[in-house]
Chain A
């Protein structure tokens, strides 16, 4: 049985529904991220797990115990807030030791544990400082240590890095992940940054408008998005208007150029209007892939130098297409205005229905892969 279970959880504020039909099972020691756009209900769900909000309906079970009606101070859950929420009147050491003090643990045990945690977060010399004497990144590390001090069953982090600048964000997220692995603590991590979710998680829960769109490993969510929403939210995606030519053999056409996809289009009929989704990094200049390939030709419209990558925008006639080249000082990048042909494998193609229906050939393989 899973360590944390949310069963048919629903939360409404008055007439508006924030979270609906939420079912999730998290294994012991697992690192799960909630990913979704602003207002999709990530925080609300997390706060229900922590006990700050009571579900309108449904159950929350931790380690086999139904905690739906347990107040937050008896759930033994560590929580890290976006705004750090360190107690401003206490030193770093007192902040970290607060939970143990409340639990009336002996003073030397508290001292030892605080020192150990300070070492874990690499802040041993900072124990006597006050929060206002720390940088944002340091404050968030202290907040993490404070949450871990009580040896919680579950660690919840609500966008812990979003108030920090990019450099610290990257290093701190690695640190969080290492500490989590080291302690083997079951963790839920809320973010709206898909790169962060990918880098950290064992599994990602993609949410939209209060509902779960997909649960899967970063690999699955990125390569085999279950819905049109997931496909467009996670990573950059080219969406080309296409028409099904032959559903049985998986043939579509984009502005008259025919494209072969890897599988038969079981959910579509010939003549249907569909979207063809392509990741920019799976598209190459013509001639670089030698197996069976699709080709598209158009005019180079714009070339953006992004450092290690050069992103090229190609205009067909109605559609636009981005693709990436690795930077190479020996090769001149394509010039705007020139004609160009790109190629990509049939396996790179996702066919999405016109509405938000979770219908395309790859979802079948995703299910098989899982």
Chain B
């Protein structure tokens, strides 16, 4: 730990004696991040432009155009978009209900702490929860059958819509966790000021409530999008992994364990595509955050 090396030099005075010494204090952090995050990621990005003989090439990138890869990206993007919007709307409405909707305070606390748990729900537990619910023998499936609606064979938990329903389970709580404080930041006086100026509830939401919240809502949905796009365990559990026509994360995972695709450069390019999409998400999210923070500063 670098601060220790400061024992002699930094002790006599509180002012940093030497510029370079001060920087040593954060060296462990940067070393760690460099070794386990930056260096590997950068080297993957670099390698996706190199062929097996370490010569510059665009072949790996062009390989991304292979139909099964394109369809896999499209599938992942669609899944992420659908679950971000679905989870965002449901989660947003739930966040609204427990904050300014006027429900009893204990409900709000219960939903928030439940959301903390459920947003980390993934993989086997989540997959099995839905198999027990909407699988062939699931509770809801059987209940629907008893009232004359048969989900199967039209529906499958392993289909696009099945996967979407499962993903939304962890998307809703993430939305709730991020949006609840935003709703609570809506000041009562804004609504009252609007009312005293003749506004109805519709006017208030149309001109004040929604415009103020929109950057946060969109930003959080972008975050949900990235959350779904990077998810691996749940899809792996439900679809068995490895098979074609699947989400991108599973394709990448398959690159590690097997040599299913002869070209190692392709795996790098897959990862690069993913990093770019996630980077765009975070950029968009940061921009939207700043937009809403600007208004709410005063």
Q: Does B54 count as interface, using CB distance less than 8 angstroms?
A: no
What are 14 A-B pairs at a CB distance below 8 A? A72-B195, A74-B198, A75-B196, A77-B196, A81-B192, A85-B189, A87-B190, A87-B208, A88-B298, A90-B208, A99-B197, A139-B298, A146-B197, A149-B197
**Per-position binary interface string of chain B over residues 193-229, scored 1 when its CB falls under 8 Å from any chain A CB and 0 otherwise:** 1111111100100011001100000000000000000
Task: Add 17 more A-B contacts to A75-B196, A132-B297, A150-B197 (CB < 8 A).
Answer: A50-B196, A51-B195, A71-B195, A73-B197, A77-B196, A87-B208, A88-B296, A88-B298, A89-B208, A89-B295, A98-B197, A98-B199, A102-B203, A132-B295, A134-B298, A143-B193, A147-B197
Most A CB contacts (10 A, CB to CB) among B200, B211, B294, B298 go to B298
**Per-position binary interface string of chain A over residues 223-243, scored 1 when its CB falls under 8 Å from any chain B CB and 0 otherwise:** 000000000000000000000
Q: Does A76 count as interface, using CB distance less than 8 angstroms?
A: yes
| Shortest distance from the beta carbon of A62 to any chain B beta carbon, whole Å | 13
Do A103 and B198 have beta carbons less than 8 Å apart?
yes
| Shortest distance from the beta carbon of B182 to any chain A beta carbon, whole Å | 13
Do B298 and A52 have beta carbons less than 8 Å apart?
no
Q: Does A79 count as interface, using CB distance less than 8 angstroms?
A: yes
Residue of B nearest to A80 (CB): B193
Which residue from B193, B212, B294 sits with its C-beta under 8 Å from A81? B193
The interface size bin for chain A is: 35 or more
Q: Does B8 count as interface, using CB distance less than 8 angstroms?
A: no
Q: How far is the CA of A7 from the CA of B198 in the complex (A)?
A: 25
Do A102 and B212 have beta carbons less than 8 Å apart?
no
| Shortest distance from the beta carbon of B72 to any chain A beta carbon, whole Å | 40
Q: Does B187 count as interface, using CB distance less than 8 angstroms?
A: yes
The interface size bin for chain B is: 20 to 34
Give the top 9 A-B pairs by smallest Cβ distance, nearest first: A85-B189, A99-B197, A132-B298, A88-B295, A79-B196, A89-B211, A72-B195, A85-B193, A73-B195
Q: How far is the CA of A5 from the CA of B196 in the complex (A)?
A: 19
Do B212 and A89 have beta carbons less than 8 Å apart?
yes
Do B192 and A85 have beta carbons less than 8 Å apart?
yes
Q: How far is the CA of A16 from the CA of B200 in the complex (A)?
A: 31
Chain B residues lying within 8 Å of A73, measured Cβ to Cβ, are 195-200
How many residue pairs bridge A and B at CB < 8 Å? 82
Q: How far is the CA of A51 from the CA of B298 in the complex (A)?
A: 27
Do B192 and A79 have beta carbons less than 8 Å apart?
yes
Judged by DSSP, the binding face of B is helix
Q: Does A83 count as interface, using CB distance less than 8 angstroms?
A: yes
Q: How far is the CA of A51 from the CA of B200 in the complex (A)?
A: 14
Which residue from B187, B195, B211 sits with its C-beta under 8 Å from A83? B187
Do A147 and B298 have beta carbons less than 8 Å apart?
no
Chain A residues lying within 8 Å of B197, measured Cβ to Cβ, are 73, 78, 98-99, 102, 146-147, 149-150
| Shortest distance from the beta carbon of A87 to any chain B beta carbon, whole Å | 5
Q: Does A131 count as interface, using CB distance less than 8 angstroms?
A: yes
Q: How far is the CA of A77 from the CA of B195 in the complex (A)?
A: 10
Which residue from B196, B294, B298 sits with its C-beta under 8 Å from A78? B196
Q: Does A130 count as interface, using CB distance less than 8 angstroms?
A: yes
Chain A residues lying within 8 Å of B194, measured Cβ to Cβ, are 87, 98
Q: How far is the CA of A102 from the CA of B197 in the complex (A)?
A: 8
Q: How far is the CA of A149 from the CA of B197 in the complex (A)?
A: 9
**Per-position binary interface string of chain A over residues 4-34, scored 1 when its CB falls under 8 Å from any chain B CB and 0 otherwise:** 0000000000000000000000000000000
**Per-position binary interface string of chain A over residues 137-149, scored 1 when its CB falls under 8 Å from any chain B CB and 0 otherwise:** 0010001001101
Do A98 and B207 have beta carbons less than 8 Å apart?
yes
Q: How far is the CA of A187 from the CA of B200 in the complex (A)?
A: 24
| Shortest distance from the beta carbon of B127 to any chain A beta carbon, whole Å | 42
Q: How far is the CA of A349 from the CA of B296 in the complex (A)?
A: 54
| Shortest distance from the beta carbon of B217 to any chain A beta carbon, whole Å | 13
Interface residues of B in 39-57 (CB under 8 A from A): none
Q: How far is the CA of A52 from the CA of B197 in the complex (A)?
A: 13
| Shortest distance from the beta carbon of A196 to any chain B beta carbon, whole Å | 21
| Shortest distance from the beta carbon of A136 to any chain B beta carbon, whole Å | 9
Most A CB contacts (10 A, CB to CB) among B192, B203, B211, B297 go to B192
| Shortest distance from the beta carbon of A162 to any chain B beta carbon, whole Å | 14
Do A102 and B198 have beta carbons less than 8 Å apart?
yes
| Shortest distance from the beta carbon of B249 to any chain A beta carbon, whole Å | 38
| Shortest distance from the beta carbon of A123 to any chain B beta carbon, whole Å | 16
Do B189 and A81 have beta carbons less than 8 Å apart?
yes
| Shortest distance from the beta carbon of A221 to any chain B beta carbon, whole Å | 29
Q: How far is the CA of A71 from the CA of B207 in the complex (A)?
A: 20
| Shortest distance from the beta carbon of A98 to any chain B beta carbon, whole Å | 6
Do A147 and B198 have beta carbons less than 8 Å apart?
no
Chain B residues lying within 8 Å of A83, measured Cβ to Cβ, are 187, 189
Q: How far is the CA of A110 from the CA of B193 in the complex (A)?
A: 18
Q: How far is the CA of A76 from the CA of B200 in the complex (A)?
A: 13
**Per-position binary interface string of chain A over residues 348-366, scored 1 when its CB falls under 8 Å from any chain B CB and 0 otherwise:** 0000000000000000000
Residue of B nearest to A158 (CB): B189
Q: How far is the CA of A98 from the CA of B296 in the complex (A)?
A: 19
Q: How far is the CA of A202 from the CA of B261 in the complex (A)?
A: 88
Residue of B nearest to A81 (CB): B189
Do A102 and B298 have beta carbons less than 8 Å apart?
no
| Shortest distance from the beta carbon of B208 to any chain A beta carbon, whole Å | 5
Q: How far is the CA of A274 from the CA of B266 in the complex (A)?
A: 98
Interface residues of A in 58-117 (CB under 8 A from B): 71-79, 81, 83, 85-90, 98-99, 101-103
Chain B residues lying within 8 Å of A147, measured Cβ to Cβ, are 196-197
| Shortest distance from the beta carbon of A212 to any chain B beta carbon, whole Å | 24
Q: How far is the CA of A88 from the CA of B208 in the complex (A)?
A: 8
| Shortest distance from the beta carbon of B179 to any chain A beta carbon, whole Å | 17
